Structure 1
Amino acid sequence: MAPVKNIIFDLGGVLLNLDVPKTSAAFKALGLTHIDELFRIGFATSFFRDYEMGTISDEEFVEKALQLTAPGTTPAQVIAAWNDMLLDFPAERVEFLKQLQSKYHIYLFSNTNQIHLLHFHKAYREVYGGEMDDLFIKAYYSHLIRMRKPDVAAFEYVIKASGVNAAETLFIDDALINVEGAHKAGLQALHLSDGKTILDLGL
């Protein structure tokens, strides 16, 4: 196995703490009782997948959610429920990423969407006073590149766009299906299992 020169991090569940059940509970309270069939960690279907792929707008996403919620639900309530899963970006992880910059070329690849991106970028600025993306040589977001994990083509796009050698690049994700996709694209890949953080990996 080639020495690692580059690291591609997932965001949610790896760098940013997530509580997906919190969003699930919020949507169920709004009447979208089958939310878990549409969206969960490492899985998205229907308009949730379309939104992560950037093929529908923020307004279209909210409207499709409203069609499945109880009468009287507002767009603001849908957005709040959707953002409920986004928690904190722990300071020790921010500092660790800064330390890694002297050892590796580091990148970000996240399955996300515009509502979430605006929310976690704003939250990061409020706490740390800078731009989150500055921690990485380049950040790749599924809705902007219109490809998402675990599709091999998505990993191949990131590899080519970054100019890295896949064999010398480690991908880290908390969803096993994404780790498997990375392996298929020729990357070294590591599943961050429950209870562990990036500080436990010996990087």
Structure 2
Amino acid sequence: MNVKAILFDLGGVLIDLEPSRVFEHWAKVASVTPSSLAARWKIDDAYKSHEKGELEFVEYTRHLGRQLGISIPPGDWQTGWNALLGQPFPYVLSRLSELGQQTPLFCFSNTNQTHWASLEARTNHRQLVSFFQKIYLSYAIGRRKPDVESYRWVARDMGYQPADITFLDDNEANINGAEQAGFCTHHVKGPQVVIDFLDTLLA
């Protein structure tokens, strides 16, 4: 397989995400059920603005309080928010280390400053990001997936034609946006699919 550059998603592809833990923490503090919070939460304009760095976390939590119908201390908003973030999948570090020696690796993640600061404090995360030539964070570049122009912007900054970039993501909408921008894509639904793809490249 002739791959010139690989662009990875982060959450759900390289690290585990555990959204249930977010609602469990907030629900315990607010004395409500996690399911009631999960039913009310949604990816809305405020969420997207937060991921593009346009809305600070404290402002977003005020919005969340109204959306979810709860009022909890600022520290608990942040503790619950960061509970989303799991550990890198076991296969990631060894395979990326080997793959990075033969193919340029990049990362494009829809994330926010609070989550990224939490990840940066972890030793294994610092090792993970060291494998990438550059990491594109939605809150830092003011662009988020699946906007087609976000992929075109990233491709230009990477210095590759879209057709020369292989993009891996677990979200179908993000895959569709990348395809519209001209990327080669792999919809990786689950860790084993990622393992199989990386092993194919390393064969």
Give the conservation status (yes or no) of the 8 Å contact 2:147–2:177: yes
Report what 2:78 is aligned to. Answer: 79
Give the conservation status (yes or no) of the 8 Å contact 2:168–2:187: yes
Amino acid at match of 1:89: P
How far 1:38 moved relative to its partner? Answer: 3.8
Once the two structures are superposed, what CA deviation does each residue of 1:133-162 show, in whole Å capped at 9, x if it has no partner?
321010000011111000101101100011
How far 1:64 moved relative to its partner? Answer: 2.5
Aligned counterpart for 1:142 among listed residues 128, 138, 142: 138
Report what 1:65 is aligned to. Answer: 64
Structure 1 91/194 Cα, relative in aligned 2: closer, same or farther at 3 Å?
closer
Amino acid at match of 1:164: Y
Structure 1 159/25 Cα, relative in aligned 2: closer, same or farther at 3 Å?
same
| 1:111 corresponds to 2:107 | no
The separation in 2 between residues aligned to 1:143 and 1:176, in whole angstroms, is 21
Q: C-alpha root-mean-square deviation of aligned residues, in Å?
A: 2.2
Aligned counterpart for 1:165 among listed residues 158, 161, 166: 161
Structure 1 195/96 Cα, relative in aligned 2: closer, same or farther at 3 Å?
closer
Structure 2 segments unaligned to the other structure (5+ residues): none
Report what 2:98 is aligned to. Answer: 99
The separation in 1 between residues aligned to 2:48 and 2:40, in whole angstroms, is 12
The separation in 2 between residues aligned to 1:160 and 1:86, in whole angstroms, is 30
Aligned counterpart for 2:174 among listed residues 167, 178, 181: 178
The separation in 1 between residues aligned to 2:182 and 2:190, in whole angstroms, is 25
What TM-score, normalized by structure 2, do the two folds share?
0.86
How far 1:98 moved relative to its partner? Answer: 1.0
How far 1:35 moved relative to its partner? Answer: 4.2
Q: How many equivalent residue pairs?
A: 194
Structure 1 106/36 Cα, relative in aligned 2: closer, same or farther at 3 Å?
farther
Give the conservation status (yes or no) of the 8 Å contact 1:150–1:181: yes
How far 1:66 moved relative to its partner? Answer: 3.6
The percent identity for this pair of structures is 27
Structure 1 190/37 Cα, relative in aligned 2: closer, same or farther at 3 Å?
farther
Structure 1 60/144 Cα, relative in aligned 2: closer, same or farther at 3 Å?
same
Report what 1:122 is aligned to. Answer: 121
Structure 1 segments unaligned to the other structure (5+ residues): none
How far 1:165 moved relative to its partner? Answer: 1.9
Give the conservation status (yes or no) of the 8 Å contact 1:110–1:142: yes
SS of 1:157's equivalent in the other structure is helix
